[in-house]
Every structure is written in C-alpha cells, then in structure tokens.
Chain A
Amino acid sequence: MADFDQQELTEFTEAAAAWFKENTPHDVDFMLPLTFMEVGTDQQFNFLRDWQNKVYEAGYLGAHWPKEYGGGGRHRAFQDAATKIMAQERTPIMLNAIGLNWTGPLLIDRGSEDEKQKYIKGILSAETIWCQGFSEPEHGSDLGNAQTRAVKDGDEYIINGSKIWTTQGNYADYMILLARTNPDAENKYKGLSFFLAPMKNSGVETVPIKKLTGEYGFTQTFFTDARIPANCLMGNEGEGWLIAMQTLEYERGARSGQAGGHVMMMADPTDILGLAREAKLNGRPAIEDPAVQEELVALMTEARALGLNSRRDKIQPLAQDRPMSLALGSKLSSTDFYQRLNAFAISLQGTRAAYYVGDDSAHDNGIWQRGYLNSFSATIGGGTSQIQRNIIGEHVLGLPKS
C-alpha cells in the first residue's frame, strides 16, 4: 500500500525521537505561548523563530514538501511521524503557523513557479513570517463582505482599509490579504481578490490589541495608500473568494498539505486525571466525587472519540455515508471539547479556581485558567462554532441556507 520504504521510515522516526529528546529546550525561564495565536513578546517571538529554524534545519518540518522549494522531498508519513513526536514531547510550538499550514500548502497547490521559489523556503525556515488579513472590523463571519480596497495603478495596487485580529501582524513580513478590486461586481464574492502582500511597507501600520488574557498576540492592521507590486496578486482578479475558501479549508483541517509541526499545544486530556487526583473538593480528592467521576468519564470518552473520528475518516467504507462529515466536523468538535475540558478543570479546584498565572496559590500555575480563556481563540478564530454549524448543516446535512 505505502509507496515508501518502511525501514527508512522507522529509522527516520527513531532519529527524530532522539533528536527531539536531545534538543527540546526545557530550561526556558519565561512563559512560552501554547498556540501560535499567543505570541505576545519579542522574547517569545525570537525564541520560537530560532526553534522553528532549528527544527527545519534538522529536517523535521516540511519533510514531505518538494525538495526544489526547500522541503525534504519525502513521503507524507515522514512528516506525520515527526509531528507526532513533537506533540508527544510537548516541544515548543512552530511559530510561523499561517505560513506553514495555510499559505504554504496553498502556494504549493496553486501558486506560480515564481511564488513557490520566492516564498516556500522562508516559510519553513521562519525567515519570513506570514499573517492573514481576512477579517475586518465590520466584517468577520460575513467575510465575503470585506471592504478593504485594492485599486490597480500601473504596475502596482494601492491598498486602503483596515484588517483586524491579525495574528502576529506586528511581526509578519507578508500577509495573505483579501481585498476588494471590483466594488461593482455582480455579487460581493466576485469583487474580491487575493494578494501576497508585503507588510514591511510604507502605508501599513499595525497596532497590537490586548487579548482577554491581558497578553498580546494579534493586531489591527491599517492600510493607508499602501502600494504593493501588481504581481502580488495571486491568480486573477475576482478569484479572491475561491482562494480564501481554500485557505480556510487548510486552516480548519478539512484539507491536507500542511508543512506539519504542531502549532497548538493542547492540554492532554489525560492530564485532567492528575488534576482530579490532586485537587481537593470538600476536603477530599476531587476524583472521589461520583459526579466528578461521571463527568470525567464523559470527557475522556469524548477525547477518544475525537481521535477515533480522524482515524475512521481514513477507513473509506466507514466514512462514506456523508462525505466530508468528519473532516468538516473536526474543528467544531475538538475546539468545543477543549473549551469544556478546561472549564471542567477549573471547576475541580474549589477556592483555588480563583487564582491565575503568576500566583503561588494557583494550581499548576494557572494553566487551566489560562487554557480556558485562550480556548476561545479556537472557537471564534477560523470561523466561529456557530458558523461551523452552518457549514456542517448546509454542506454535510444538506439543509437550506439560513
């Protein structure tokens, strides 16, 4: 079945395991982001950029991407193995997520030869950082209504408008930008175009926004007569919506091709068992409370179902009743699950639930509290859970549009 040498894969996997054991930094004396959406300080940014570069140089990132653009040229199974080890070792995350997992596969699938030559290697090495300019202050879920303007002027486009919630906007070298080239198109979607826009450019300003956790991670991005070369246009004018939708499929995990490497450090659901044993409720270990047990079992059962769903999706006869169901459902089910898991974890802590990161009284230094607040990044970002339900209802269950 597999079109690669199993022996070679085994050796690769063993080497990767040894490499990550040896090289994973453990003595970091500042708080590392758990996800790519939480990179709030220069210290975190520089650290993660170096780390990604090191992993790439070792051959454990983009191992299956084409060699001619900087990838490893191997079978996908190799990268999957490396990614799995990173998650198991709980290594620091890969910084350049929007480049690695959305822009990169998009370029490989539909980019021009020039674009691939120009961008892929920098994405892998973290030399060039990417951000995504889709959402606007007035148009988030209704992305098709984006109003940021791009007007062609000779061999340039002039960009005006504002994007918001731009993850890593203040660090990015490039933005995948959805902008309106034709306000008079026959419908709102057809007036949109897709750009690979330089950020270190006059007329582009980023203003960091403080997140609910009090940290930073995203920006509002202002374009004021920002001029970008006309060849930043990807595809043709009017194809922006199509390309943006393909990008979102990568983002939501409904389409594959990502460079790999973990970009979100999820709580291990089994960690909550440790918490339930240590935390005290009414003077007894929380895990002795039957109501807690029942809820714990339900959560552990659900965690297993998420893992099983993704495996079942690969077993064709068990995944064909409603095509795309498991792929389109995974974002909704996993983000929602992690939110409830974190909330439940807080509920096990009695008065200790009141403490947050940085206080000695906090359980596990407030990791569950912080995790819960941050969990909304995934239930809102990338299309909210409500929008996911619309998508599944319409595209999987065939219900009429709302």
Chain B
Amino acid sequence: MSALDNARMAPRIGLSEEQAQLLDIAESFCRDKSPVDKVRALIEEEGGFDDAVWREIAELGWLGIGVPENYGGIGLGMGELVPLVEHMGRSLMNTPFVPTVLAAQALLRGGSEAQKEEFLPKLAAGSAASLAVCEDHADWNLENLTAAATRRNGKLVLSGKKYLVLHAAASDIVLASVALDGQAALIIIPADALEGRMTREKIIDDTQRAYALDLDGMALDEDHLLPMEMAADTLAHIEQMASLLLAADMCGGAFACIDYTLDYLKTRKQFGKLIGSYQSLKHTMVDAHQLYEKARSHLYSAAHVFGEQGEGEMAVHMAKAEAGEAFSFAADRAIQFHGGFGFTYDCDAQLYRRRAIMGCALHGDTRYHRRKIAELMF
C-alpha cells in the first residue's frame, strides 16, 4: 500500500475532539430515541417525526452546531454534523434536522446581514426550515430553473412548482431557488405564504416526508430575496453540504443494514446449517462490508477537508458516490438474503433499500458524482 502514500495521492483524514464526542453522544441518543418500532410507528403519522425528539435535538444545541456564535450558534463546522447524521442514518431516524441545518447554512452563506440576524438564531434554536431546490425536470443541476420570480408593483411574484421539499409542512421558512432576470436566485418563503400550496408527495422512503410547492402567483416582499450576487455560489454550496450529509446518512444506513442482515445470517438455518455459513452469502456480506468501510473512510475524509477548494469538493463527490454505492448494494442484498421474509413489509431490509434509493435520488447518484470528479480530474 506504500505507493498510495505518495504525495500526489495523500488523502487526508482526521477527527476533531468535538467530532469524537458527538459520535458518542449521537450513538446513544439515536439508539434510544429511534428504535425501529418507533420508526415504523412514525410512518403511520402524517408529520412523520416525533416532536419531542425534535425539541430534544434543539435543546442539545445540535441545530446551532454550524451556526456562528454571534447568530446564536456554537460556531463549529459542517464536519461536526457528520457524526450526528451518520447515527441518524444508522437508526433510520427522521426529523427536519438535515433540511433545517442545510437551510441555515445556505442563509449563512448567501443571506444578507439582516436576513441572517433575523433567521439564524431561530433556526439554531429549533425553528424548522427546508430547501426547495428540486424541479419537475428531475435534473440534479441546481441552476437549471424553470420556477421564476418577476418584479411587479414592488413585489416579487413567483411562478412554477418545486418538488421534494423535505418536511415543508413542519417548516417555518422554506428557501426556494427561482430564476430572476435570467439568473439563479434564492428567496425566503415564510410558512404562512405556503398555506394551501403544499401537497404531500408519495415518495419511496416511507420514513421521510416530502411536499410539492405550488408557487404560481405567490407575492413576496423584496426583502425576502437573498443577495443575487451570492446565489450561484450558494447553490453550489448547497449541493456540497447536502451531498456530505446524505453521504453520512447513507454510510450510517449501510452499517445498520449490514448489521441487520448479519443477525439473520447468524440465526436462520436451512439444510441444517446457519445460512451465514454458506459462502455465497458470507462472501457477499464481506464485499458489502468492505464497500462500506471504504465509503466511511471517504466520508470522514470529506468531513475533514470540507470547504477546501478543489480537494474539499473532490472529497465530497467521492463520499457521496461511494456511500450511495455501498448502501445500495448492502440493502439490495439484504432483501435477497432474507428470502421470502425479505419480500415483506415487515422485514426492515425494505426500509434500508428505500432510504438508499432516496439518498441517491437527492443531489446526485454515484454516476453523477463520478462525472463531477471526472470534470475536476481530467
């Protein structure tokens, strides 16, 4: 392996003390608050998450981790969110945590001073938010915008639709991307403006909640608009942040899914033997595990160098590409290796497989991120 230590390659990885502590805390918190029967119970509820858990997350200060102190946060970085989201993924936990921190970070990056002062302290304290950046064209390119804003009578009047807006119904604000004068723009939509404009979408992952937003005719004051000059940069930043956190969620999911399948392979017998003793299953599980280990190394490397130009972007693309592949493979085999039971709704394998598909569908699958790496590399 020494050739890989070559300076040209030397990829970096590290763990801050805060990350190590959060890893510990998140592990027990998520395990306690999100056992799988609870996950399944929440599927049946309209909102899809437990308000009490959400409030505890806020009290723990996790929503303020990436928010600077002068806006009411703790002032750490995106890297510190990774251990949390990884463990949420392991426990199939679902709350507005990820959309809220993404919206906060987007505001931090691209908002005006007044907008930051108004919203960041609220978001850091437990007011939920979300991003509306997906459209019907299904393209991952966030600058491909058909939803639009035009100026009329001193107001910004919106048109078009946004899709896959996570936990929109629970959000106090939604940050939407629209085209304005032919350019990308981001605009803050308060919850009251969304009244009657939200439709819950039927998505593959039953543990999550996503909504379509109808923007046609919605009129907002000019001060809802984020400064235009930062919009393109902010959208690029959103892709990076979302990819990092989705990679964390999927790495967590892959680990839990492998663990779940191993349990079955160690208890189920056929032909008088535990099925885990059969090499076609055992060796495949090893392959899944090896893929997961590589993905996790990429994840913590990306968390470590996040935000660095070039190196940071490359690491995030790799992390998302590999996490998507590892989780998809592990969950696909999880269904197969549970036999007939694997085909049932009762078997957790489907929860993982659906979450993996969702994780790849949002902000780019493996092929998309590899293409991005190719553009950076060649």
B173 to chain A, nearest CB (A): 35
Interface string of A246-278 (1 = CB under 8 A from B): 000000010000000010011111100100000
**Interface presence of B289 (CB below 8 A):** yes
Q: Is the CB of A304 within 8 A of B286?
A: no
With A318-B300, A390-B279, A400-B277: A325-B289 Cβ-Cβ less than 8 Å: yes
Q: Is the CB of B279 within 8 A of A308?
A: no
- B377 neighbours in A (Cβ, 8 Å): 273, 296-297, 300
C-alpha gap A400/B297 in the complex (Å):
27
With A307-B1, A308-B11, A326-B293: A399-B298 Cβ-Cβ less than 8 Å: no
Interface string of B110-150 (1 = CB under 8 A from A): 00000000000000000000000000000000000000000
Chain A contact residue count (CB 8 A cutoff): 59
Query: Which of A312, A315, A333: most chain B CB closer than 10 A?
Result: A312
B254 to chain A, nearest CB (A): 12
Q: Quick one: which of B9, B279, B297, B370 contacts A312, CB cutoff 8 A?
A: B297
Q: Is the CB of A310 within 8 A of B300?
A: no
**Interface presence of A283 (CB below 8 A):** no
The residue of chain A having its C-beta at the shortest distance from the C-beta of B11 within the complex is: A304
**Interface presence of A298 (CB below 8 A):** yes
C-alpha gap A297/B9 in the complex (Å):
13
Chain B contact residue count (CB 8 A cutoff): 55
Interface contact tally, CB-CB below 8 A: 174
C-alpha gap A194/B277 in the complex (Å):
31
Q: Is the CB of B301 within 8 A of A308?
A: yes
Q: Is the CB of A88 within 8 A of B7?
A: yes
The residue of chain A having its C-beta at the shortest distance from the C-beta of B278 within the complex is: A402
Q: Is the CB of A400 within 8 A of B266?
A: yes
With A294-B370, A298-B370, A308-B298: A269-B3 Cβ-Cβ less than 8 Å: yes
A315 to chain B, nearest CB (A): 5
The residue of chain B having its C-beta at the shortest distance from the C-beta of A321 within the complex is: B255
A33 to chain B, nearest CB (A): 16
C-alpha gap A147/B4 in the complex (Å):
40
- A270 neighbours in B (Cβ, 8 Å): 6, 8-9
Q: Is the CB of A301 within 8 A of B321?
A: yes
B367 to chain A, nearest CB (A): 7
**Interface presence of B20 (CB below 8 A):** yes
C-alpha gap A332/B294 in the complex (Å):
13
Secondary structure class of chain B's binding surface, majority of residues: helix
Interface residues in A355-391 by Cβ distance below 8 A to B read 386, 389-390
**Interface presence of B14 (CB below 8 A):** yes
Interface string of A277-316 (1 = CB under 8 A from B): 0000000000100100110111011111111111110010
Interface string of B310-340 (1 = CB under 8 A from A): 0000000010011000000000000000000
B81 to chain A, nearest CB (A): 16
**Interface presence of A392 (CB below 8 A):** yes
Q: Is the CB of A87 within 8 A of B5?
A: yes
Q: Is the CB of B293 within 8 A of A83?
A: no
Give me the 5 closest cross-chain CB pairs, A-B, nearest first: A87-B2, A305-B294, A308-B297, A307-B4, A399-B276
Q: A262-B2, A270-B6, A322-B289 are in contact. List 18 more A-B contacts (CB 8 A).
A: A87-B5, A269-B4, A294-B367, A296-B378, A297-B374, A300-B377, A301-B370, A304-B318, A307-B1, A308-B13, A309-B293, A312-B300, A315-B13, A317-B23, A389-B287, A390-B282, A393-B286, A399-B277
What residues of chain A have their CB less than 8 Å away from a CB belonging to chain B?
A: 83-84, 86-88, 253, 262, 265-270, 273, 287, 290, 293-294, 296-298, 300-312, 315, 317-318, 321-322, 325-326, 329-330, 332-334, 386, 389-390, 392-394, 396-402
Q: Could you jot down 9 A-B contacts, CB within 8 Å?
A: A290-B374, A303-B4, A311-B13, A325-B293, A393-B283, A394-B282, A396-B286, A397-B262, A402-B277
